[in-house]
Structures are given as structure tokens and as C-alpha cells.
């Protein structure tokens, strides 16, 4: 499908469904361009039609860790080594798309929450 600016709830729903279908796209695949475009289109529609609170990724991660009673070491399978987890939690290292996907599944939250940059 050739994507364009989302102007209706129907367009938004179709784009959101497709986004979720290809969210696992490999970085070198043709789907990655479509994924990046859909992320922009969906975000644009969200910002125009929904008032979502601004969430800082690190605050969300720390809140969910506290809520679930988990420690930094429990994030190693999602983020990487102890050093990587420490760097991400301290804000010294950015959250990658792959990390955001794993965090999304682990915390049952939209991946976009973890990709917001401050």
C-alpha cells in the first residue's frame, strides 16, 4: 500500500495494524522504510487527535521495574550486558529500536514510549 498522511480513524487503524505486523522488520529489509514512515504517520495522527502525556523513557522503565519488583539485572536479556543496562538506565546510552521492541513485550507498553528522546 502506498501510505499518505492519515486523515481518518480508519486510515489510522490500518496504519497501526500494518505497523504492528512489520514492527520486527530487519534493519536492512525493504519493510524498514515502511516501518519508519508508519511510525511518523501514526505519531503525527496521535499528536493531532489524542492528548497523550509526555513520558520520559527512563522514568517509565524505572516505574515499571519498581511496580514489578525487578532489578537492573533482570533487564540484561532485554538490553544486554550489565554495563549496557547501567548505561541505558543512567541515560548515557540511547535505547535502540531492538531494545524498545523487547521492552515493549516485557512491560506490555507501546514501543514508542521507549523511543521518545528528551
Q: What is the pLDDT of residues 16-73, one digit of tens each?
A: 999 999 988 888 888 999 999 999 999 899 888 876 567 788 888 998 999 999 999 9
Average model confidence (pLDDT) across the chain:
88
Say whether both 84 and 104 belong to one domain.
yes
pLDDT for residue 52: 54
Report the distance separating Cα 59 and Cα 57, nearest Å.
5
Say whether both 69 and 93 belong to one domain.
yes
* 56 vs 8 pLDDT, higher one: 8
Say whether both 64 and 110 belong to one domain.
yes
Residue 4 lies in a domain: no
Question: What values do phi and psi take at 21, rounded to 5?
Answer: -65, -35
Residue 1 lies in a domain: no
pLDDT for residue 1: 65
pLDDT for residue 108: 86
Say whether both 73 and 104 belong to one domain.
yes
pLDDT bin (cut points 50, 70, 90) of residue 118 is very low
The total number of structural domains that make up the chain: 2
**Residue-range definition of the domain harbouring residue 66:** 57-115
3-state secondary structure 22-60: CCCCCCCCCHHHHHHHHHHHHHHHHHHHCCCCCCCHHHH
Amino acid at each position: 500500500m502506498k501510505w499518505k498522511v492519515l486523515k481518518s480513524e480508519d486510515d489510522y487503524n490500518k496504519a497501526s495494524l500494518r505497523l504492528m505486523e512489520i514492527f520486527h522488520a530487519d534493519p536492512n529489509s525493504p519493510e524498514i522504510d515502511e516501518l519508519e514512515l508508519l511510525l511518523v504517520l501514526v505519531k503525527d495522527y496521535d499528536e493531532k487527535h489524542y492528548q497523550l502525556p509526555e513520558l520520559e523513557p527512563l522514568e517509565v522503565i524505572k516505574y515499571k521495574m519498581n511496580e514489578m519488583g525487578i532489578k537492573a539485572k533482570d533487564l540484561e536479556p532485554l538490553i544486554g550486558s550489565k554495563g549496557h543496562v547501567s548505561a541505558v538506565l543512567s541515560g548515557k546510552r540511547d535505547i535502540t529500536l531492538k531494545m524498545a521492541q523487547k521492552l515493549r513485550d516485557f512491560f506490555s507498553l507501546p514501543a514508542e514510549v521507549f523511543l521518545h528522546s528528551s
